[in-house]
Amino acid sequence: MQYESFRREYISGGLSREMLDASPIRQFEGWLEQAVRAGLKDPTAMVLATVDESGAPWQRIVLLKGLSHGGFVFYTNYGSDKAAAMAHNPRVSLLFPWNELDRQVIVGGRVEKMTMAESASYFLTRPRESQIAAWASRQSRPISARALLEKQVQVLREKFGKGEIPVPDFWGGYRVLPEKIEFWQGGENRLHDRFLYRRQADAGWHIEQLQP
């Protein structure tokens, strides 16, 4: 297969400085709303990139669960590989790949743990089976067979019965506080439009246009 031949033109429209909001968070919310209205299958899916203690980068897809205090929120197991990497190096990157709209948003910043109260508030809104799965999985740890995980799920179903499922102390939220956010809009003939918001010392944002 000749991968070099795979190409297409980006014709969804351009992006100019005049079209941008002064706040990258409001700009992101506007683009996310458009992605939802366009019927994208997973508009809140984002690639989370971390660097572990050996200096090795790794990426995985997680789901955006909110915008809180100017940060991008997601939840995970505190014993996972990504949690270990973030504990070592809190600098992370997020990527929203909205290919159907010829758009992507890249976020760079520092991650912080959310409070137990914030995590509990979200956990209680999750479907019951998702709550049980959070208890059952020791995320990123080896397992010899899927059947063992399924057995643990059944054990927990019986343990909790029909009662309320408590929040695991090894599970919770993270907030990525952005230091820079890039908005990328595909353009014809590979002349894409790129605008970078960079946080200033006064907590304001400087916007500059980048060459494609």
Would you call 52 exposed, middle or buried from its count of C-beta atoms within 10 A (0-12, 13-18, 19+)?
Answer: middle
Instruction: State the SS3 of the chain.
Output: CCHHHCCCCCCCCCCCHHHCCCCHHHHHHHHHHHHHHCCCCCCCEEEEEEECCCCCEEEEEEECCEEECCEEEEEEECCCHHHHHHHHCCEEEEEEEEHHHCEEEEEEEEEEECCHHHHHHHHCCCCHHHHHHHHHCCCCCCCCCHHHHHHHHHHHHHHHCCCCCCCCCCEEEEEEEEEEEEEEECCHHHCCEEEEEEECCCCCEEEEEECC
Q: What structural domains does the chain harbor?
A: 8-124+169-210 (2.30.110.10), 127-166 (no CATH)
- Here the tokens at position 34 are 């458009």
Question: What is the rounded CA–CA span in Å between residue 206 and residue 212?
Answer: 19
Single pTM value for the model: 0.92
Q: Which residues are catalytic, by number?
A: 190
State the pLDDT at residue 10.
61
Task: Return per-residue pLDDT of the chain as tens, 212 residues.
Answer: 767 667 766 667 789 999 999 999 999 999 999 999 999 999 999 999 999 999 999 999 999 999 999 999 999 999 999 999 999 999 999 999 999 999 999 999 999 999 999 999 999 999 999 999 999 999 889 989 999 999 999 999 999 998 999 999 999 999 999 999 999 999 888 889 999 999 998 889 999 999 99
State the pLDDT at residue 11.
63
